Amino acid sequence: MKIQPRQPRGFILTAVLLGMAAWALVLLNLNATRSHGLNERLKLYDTENQAYLSEKYAAQVAEVK
């Protein structure tokens, strides 16, 4: 009696796992790209907010200085 390994099943399982790993990397890269854009918008918002508050409270800032 000859024992035959289940090569096709192992190959399919390996291919599926590699495909899932590749898809996970694609999703992580997409998320990193979007979060970079979000960080840029947050920096811009912070700059605009700081400028607005400086104008709004300019008199009080001048008193403190």
- Tens-place pLDDT, residues 9-64: 788 899 999 999 999 999 888 777 777 777 888 899 999 999 999 999 998 888 88
Angle at 23 between CA 19 and CA 25, to 5 degrees: 120
Among 22, 24, 43, 44, which Cα is nearest to 32's? Answer: 24
Query: What does the alpha-carbon distance between residue 20 and residue 38 come to, in Å, rounded to a whole number?
Result: 27
Query: What does the alpha-carbon distance between residue 23 and residue 33 come to, in Å, rounded to a whole number?
Result: 15
Tell me what the pLDDT averaged over the chain comes to: 85
